[in-house]
């Protein structure tokens, strides 16, 4: 796989991407701000929601077992999956046993995480994404770039082109018209799918309820029309009670899009009972770990309280400049920079915790107040135990020693300062020439986009001492 | 409230010492103007933030321990002309030493005495009007660690509002990071540069001829970007504009 820096290089000058990102993130962020501001007792609700989430995590084993019992009582089939491939296997088996060929999906990040579509297609199944954004991703053979707005990286114009090319419809960039094209095409597909697959936004321990929120209503169709509904839910999605669910719903849509509630909030308790005439005959819930238990005991355990609102992406200066794909995996932005190394291993993903200026905007907007900057710092601490450039290690060791010995500090500073002033022109360095005294690579990272000011001839302390002397 | 302090310790920060000594002098002048005696502990070095933010917590701890031990030997409030370094000491030191229960009380005793410069002026001394006067159009850049780390927003604003003739220009997306982020600026120049260019555009659009901030890190980064563009916009620490025109 390409490196993080290489991925950044390939997107940073993409004008279309910058326009699309700036429009969408500004709209979502200002929506969030206004709607949280209008929520009475917002701070209290956020605190309570945070507590509910963290409580669940402290007692996860017990809560999961309780949840499983409730599900079974409700007539739901429960499956446990340790890895993503295990979850895919469960789905494939359910389909194959019944000779089913066609499945419809509503948007689910966890299915992206486990590469469900690829696995199902490989097993000979036809998969239809029914969320408009995901549908376009599927048509274009692309990847989602945002956890709630999968095609945030595309301009309207690009969406129009994709539809025109793949669906044989006249080109337009009118959103309503594009949605109409998709709806017409999708409706017939819905009706013939025999399995509906969704994720879950929340699972309520007390009642065994699965909660799914959407704006397009497609999840309603996916969970009611096909004979079988399969829910893939990662372990941390639990909330204790329906009252806690209410707290979450109060902050989720507000933080995500600025809506008070999403257009559709679906609560599922199990398969249809005889006298009903809609709903699936079978409901399956796959409880997926896929690396989560590895995060529980770590300093980043709190990240499992994330309710996937996407607010931290929309406010993040880094995300806003590079978009989701550059992060390299399904969860982009601040949440992804903590989650991906946690789920997949820090060694391979150690660039992500460094992809932040530590500005703290994510922590400010997070509805459950996850301290992402602190988690990034603790990941950085762990990252340097992995392989790091020798020069940097020595440099930082030196830093620790020098800063504790003021005499040495002054001596080294004086040499460095003199050297920098010698290579500077009119007080500025435009690029550092190769030399043996200072780490040119890092410093030329600085001069790549800005000039370097050379140190002052007289330090503050020198000035101070002179002043003190002149008073004597 | 307890009596106003007569004497402070200045933790000038390494950036001010090496690159912006005039900022240190401005801090001294403003404080002395208010009748405060300034002491500079001459054996101070760096708070340790560069190592800490890069993940080298062990090395950062050496700098932090040294700083705490040094400052413990002094008395009175410690004034720091940087939101970022203040946040490092107040919020990150206790995390660094959370398991060193022997040393932690010494750490907390020091962190309790630390104030960012504008916080000290407004919250401790109760001063927001110094009698400064400056003909300029200033855009205020609130650095992230000052704003979100320390929650300092009103203090610099009220100090600036009270400067005679100073016109405060509003900049778009004022709460947005400038892209500095310490070693992030050198490690990810493409991202940092892209964030910086947006900030510079917003500054230019505000028609300001000066950017004022409480953090020299952000200003050094913005100054470097503006200098590369050949811009004439000046960059000033808030102490420098507060010092202007003082009698
Ligand atoms: S970390 Fe917080 S802000 Fe980010 S997606 Fe999760 S809940 Fe939302």
ipTM of the complex: 0.95
For residue A412, the model assigns a pLDDT of 83
Q: Is residue A14 classed exposed, middle or buried when 0-12, 13-18 and 19+ CB atoms within 10 A define those classes?
A: middle
Please give the Cα distance from A30 to B173 (Å, whole number): 11
Interface contact A442-B63, CB threshold 8 A: no
Give pLDDT tens digits for B174-184. Answer: 999 999 999 99
In this structure, which residue's CA is closest to atom 3 in ligand 1? Answer: A366
For ligand 1, atom 2, which residue shows the shortest CA distance?
A366
Q: How many angstroms separate the CA atoms of A171 and A156, rounded?
A: 11
Q: How many helices (H) and strands (E) does chain B have?
A: 14, 8
What are the boundaries of each domain within chain B?
A: 7-123, 128-246
User: What's residue B1's pLDDT?
Assistant: 47
Question: What is the Rg, in whole angstroms, of the alpha carbon atoms belonging to chain B?
Answer: 18
DSSP codes, A166-215:
HH-------HHHHHHHHHHHHHHHHHH-SEEEE--SEEETTTTEEEEEES
Count how many residues are written for chain B. Answer: 247
Interval A340-379: pLDDT, tens: 999 999 999 999 999 999 999 999 999 999 999 999 999 9
The partner residue sitting opposite B21, judged by closest CB among A384, A443, A463, is A463
State the pLDDT at residue B6. Answer: 93
Interface contact A449-B227, CB threshold 8 A:
no
More confident residue, B156 or A396: B156
d(CA A4, CA B24): 39
Contact B139, B199 (CB under 8 A): no
Count, in order, helices (H) and strands (E) of chain A. 23, 12
List chain A residues with CB under 8 Å of B63: 399-400, 403-404
Q: What is the mean pLDDT of chain B?
A: 95
d(CA A266, CA A210): 8
Residue A442 forms contact with B (CB below 8 Å):
yes
Query: What is the model's pLDDT at position A292?
Result: 96
Following DSSP, what letter does each residue of A297-334 receive, concatenated?
TSTTGGGGG-----HHHHH-HHHHHHTTGGG-SSS-HH
Q: Tell me the chain B residues in contact with residue A449 when contact means C-beta distances shorter than 8 Å.
A: 189-190, 192-193, 196, 225, 228
Residue ranges for chain A with pLDDT beneath 50: none
Alpha carbon separation from B14 to A35, A408, B152, B246 (Å, rounded): 42, 14, 22, 26
Cα dihedral A299, A302, A308, A310 sign: negative
Q: A328 is written with which tokens?
A: 């390299």
The dihedrals phi and psi of B225, each to the nearest 5 degrees, come to -70, -40
Task: List, in sequence order, every residue forming a beta bridge with A126; answer none if it has no partner.
Answer: A102
* Cα separation, A120 vs A295, whole angstroms: 28
Ligand 1 midpoint to CA A322 (Å): 18
For domain A1-38+304-387, the question of CATH label 1.10.1060 is answered with: yes
Q: Which of A380, A453, A461 faces B19 most closely, judged by CB atoms?
A: A453
> Is residue B171 over pLDDT 50?
yes
Contact yes or no for A380 and B227 at CB 8 A:
no
Per-residue pLDDT, B2:
60
- Give pLDDT, residue B130: 93
Contact predicate A223/A229, CB 8 Å:
yes
DSSP of A65-82? HHHHHHHHHTT-EEEEES
Task: Tell me the per-residue pLDDT of B45-90, one tens digit each, with 9 for 90 and over.
Answer: 999 999 999 999 999 999 999 999 999 999 999 999 999 999 999 9
Question: Is residue A462 exposed (0-12), middle (13-18) or buried (19+ Cβ within 10 Å)?
Answer: middle
DSSP at B91: I
3-state secondary structure of A42: helix
* 8 A C-beta contact, residue B74 and residue B41: yes
Q: How do residues B175-232 score in pLDDT, each as one tens digit?
A: 999 999 999 999 999 999 999 999 999 999 999 999 999 999 999 999 999 999 999 9
Q: Do domains A1-38+304-387 and A41-133+190-290 have the same CATH topology?
A: no
Selecting from 3.40.50.10420, 1.10.10.10, 3.40.50.300, 3.40.50.1370, what CATH number does the domain A41-133+190-290 have?
A: 3.40.50.10420
Q: Does domain B128-246 have CATH number 3.40.50.11810?
A: yes
Distance between CA atoms of B204 and A469, rounded to whole angstroms? Answer: 43
d(CA B190, CA A7): 11
The domain locations on chain A are: 1-38+304-387, 41-133+190-290, 390-470
For A408, the closest chain B residue by CA position comes to B45
3-class DSSP assignment, residue A139: helix
Q: What residues contact residue A333 under an 8 Å CB cut-off, 6+ apart?
A: A146, A147, A310, A312, A313, A316, A318, A319, A324, A327, A362
Ligand 1 pocket mutation pick from A308, A331, A336 by most atoms within 8 angstroms of CB: A308
**For residue B44, what pLDDT band results from cuts at 50, 70 and 90?**
very high
The residue with tokens 């077992």 is: A65
Q: pLDDT of A224-273, one tens digit each? A: 889 999 999 999 999 999 999 999 999 999 999 999 988 899 999 999 98
Is the minimum CB–CB distance between B71 and chain A shorter than 8 Å? no
**B46 in contact with A at a CB cutoff of 8 Å?**
yes
Query: Order of strands across the sheet with B37-39?
Result: B37-39, B7-10, B78-80, B114-116
């Amino acid at each position: 796989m390409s490196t993080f820096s290489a991925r950044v290089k390939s997107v940073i000058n993409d004008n279309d991407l910058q326009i699309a990102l700036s429009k969408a993130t500004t709209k979502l962020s200002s929506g969030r701000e206004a709607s949280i501001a209008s929520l009475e007792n917002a701070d209290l609700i956020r605190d309570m929601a945070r507590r509910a989430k963290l409580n669940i995590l402290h007692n996860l084993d017990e809560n999961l077992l309780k949840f499983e019992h409730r599900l079974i009582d409700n007539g739901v089939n429960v499956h446990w999956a340790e890895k993503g491939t295990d979850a895919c296997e469960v789905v494939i088996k359910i389909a194959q046993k019944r000779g089913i060929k066609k499945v419809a999906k509503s948007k689910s990040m966890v299915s992206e995480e486990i590469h469900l579509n690829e696995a199902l297609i490989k097993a000979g199944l036809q998969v239809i994404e029914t969320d408009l954004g995901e549908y376009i991703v599927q048509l274009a053979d692309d990847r989602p770039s945002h956890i709630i707005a999968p095609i945030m990286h595309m301009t309207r114009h690009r969406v129009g082109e994709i539809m025109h090319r793949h669906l044989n419809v006249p080109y337009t960039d009118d959103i309503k018209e594009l949605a109409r094209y998709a709806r017409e095409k999708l409706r017939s597909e819905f009706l013939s799918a025999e399995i509906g697959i969704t994720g879950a936004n929340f699972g309520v321990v007390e009642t065994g309820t699965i909660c799914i929120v959407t704006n397009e209503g497609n999840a309603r169709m996916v969970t009611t029309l096909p004979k079988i509904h399969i829910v893939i839910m990662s372990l941390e999605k639990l909330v204790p009670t329906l009252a806690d669910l209410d707290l979450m719903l109060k902050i989720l849509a507000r933080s995500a899009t600025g809506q008070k509630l999403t257009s559709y909030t679906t609560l599922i308790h199990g398969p249809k009972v005889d006298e009903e005439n809609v709903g699936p005959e079978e409901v399956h819930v796959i409880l997926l770990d896929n690396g989560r238990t590895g995060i529980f005991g770590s300093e980043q355990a709190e990240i499992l309280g994330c309710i996937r609102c996407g607010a931290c992406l929309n406010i993040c200066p880094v995300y806003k400049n590079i978009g989701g794909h550059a992060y390299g995996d399904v969860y982009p932005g601040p949440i992804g920079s903590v989650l991906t190394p946690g789920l997949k291993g820090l060694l391979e993903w150690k660039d992500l915790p460094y992809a932040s200026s530590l500005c703290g905007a994510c922590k400010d907007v997070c509805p459950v107040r996850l301290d992402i900057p602190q988690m990034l710092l603790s990941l950085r601490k762990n990252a340097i135990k992995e392989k790091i450039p020798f020069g940097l290690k020595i440099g930082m060791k030196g830093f620790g020693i020098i800063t504790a010995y003021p005499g040495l500090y002054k001596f080294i500073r004086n040499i460095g300062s003199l050297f920098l002033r010698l290579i500077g022109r009119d007080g500025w360095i435009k690029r550092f020439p190769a030399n043996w005294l200072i780490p040119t690579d890092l410093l030329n990272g600085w001069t790549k986009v800005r000039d370097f000011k050379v140190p002052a001839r007289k330090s503050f302390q020198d000035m101070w001492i002179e002043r003190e002397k002149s008073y004597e | 409230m307890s009596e106003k302090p007569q004497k402070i310790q200045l933790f000038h920060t390494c950036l001010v010492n090496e690159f912006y000594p005039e900022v240190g002098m401005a801090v001294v002048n403003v404080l002395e103007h208010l009748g405060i005696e300034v002491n500079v502990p001459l054996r101070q070095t760096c708070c340790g933030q560069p190592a800490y933010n890069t993940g080298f917590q062990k090395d950062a701890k050496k700098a932090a321990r040294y700083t705490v031990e040094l400052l413990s030997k002094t008395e009175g409030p410690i004034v720091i002309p940087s939101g970022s370094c203040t946040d490092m000491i107040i919020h990150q030191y206790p995390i660094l030493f959370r398991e060193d229960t022997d040393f932690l009380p010494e750490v907390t005793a020091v962190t309790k005495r630390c104030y960012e410069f504008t916080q000290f002026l407004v919250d401790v001394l109760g001063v927001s009007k110094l009698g400064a006067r400056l003909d300029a159009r200033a855009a205020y850049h609130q650095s992230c660690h000052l704003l979100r780390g320390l929650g300092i927003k009103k203090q610099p604003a009220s100090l600036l509002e009270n400067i005679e003739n100073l016109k405060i220009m509003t900049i778009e997306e004022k709460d947005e990071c400038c892209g500095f982020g310490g070693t992030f600026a050198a490690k990810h120049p493409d991202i940092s540069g892209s964030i910086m260019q947006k900030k510079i555009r917003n500054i230019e659009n505000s028609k300001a001829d000066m950017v004022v901030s409480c953090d020299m890190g952000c200003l050094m980064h913005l100054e470097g970007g503006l200098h590369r563009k050949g811009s004439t916009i000046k960059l000033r620490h808030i102490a420098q504009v507060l010092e202007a025109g003082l009698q």
